[in-house]
Amino acid sequence: MIGRLNHVGVATPSIDESVKLYRDLLGATRIGEKFALPEQGVWVCFVDLPNSQIELIEPHGDASPLLGFLAKNPKGGQHHVCFEVEDIIAARDAMRAKGATVLGTGEPRIGAHGTPVIFLHPKDMGGVLVELMETPKDAH
Ligand code: CO
């Protein structure tokens, strides 16, 4: 069911400042351009690692779901983990059947990698916000 760890989501008040940490302190060399996902209220920037990615996310707009997180964690912090699944609809239905809470309407949205994603409520996941993402068809 659960597949590859696609990325770890890290919320930040400033992607530009966070990029400096990953590039200058940790030595990451493959860092993408920042881009907006207005429907999700975030700016996104991927830091590529040999085995996964860090997804830096910064609030975009006044209704960003990240604003509440940053109010509690002003410096930012680890926000979610994203696992790949083969079929997002099958995964959603299986999660619901097992009692997990799918956030929002439950209809998958297009995520930062251009494939459908859903989020599982942390209350059912030991406090961890989990993103499930359909594996890109041309990946791996
Ligand atoms: Co994510």
The bridge status of strand 109-110 relative to strand 77-85 is unpaired
Contact 133, 83 (CB under 8 A): yes
The Cα 40–Cα 7 span in angstroms is 17
CA of 98 to the centre of ligand 1 (A): 23
List C-alpha distances in Å: 84 to 87, 119, 132, 135: 9, 12, 6, 5
Query: Sign (positive/negative) of CA torsion 68, 69, 70, 74?
Result: positive
The model's pTM is 0.93
- Is 107 marked active-site? no
User: Which regions of 12-52 does DSSP assign to beta strands (E)?
Assistant: 30-31, 35-37, 42-48
CATH superfamily of 5-134: 2,3-Dihydroxybiphenyl 1,2-Dioxygenase, domain 1 (3.10.180.10)
Contact 100, 52 (CB under 8 A): no
What pLDDT does 92 receive? 97
Residue ranges in the chain whose pLDDT is less than 50: none
Per annotation, catalytic residue among 58, 84, 131, 134: 131
Q: Which residues surround ligand 1, an ion (CB under 5 A)?
A: 9, 55, 82, 131
Any idea of the CA torsion for 10, 45, 69, 21, to the nearest 10 degrees? Answer: 50
CA of 52 to the centre of ligand 1 (A): 12
What pLDDT does 41 receive? 94
CA of 81 to the centre of ligand 1 (A): 7
What pLDDT does 139 receive? 62
Contact 11, 57 (CB under 8 A): yes
What pLDDT does 70 receive? 97
Domain range annotation of the chain: 5-134
CA of 25 to the centre of ligand 1 (A): 23
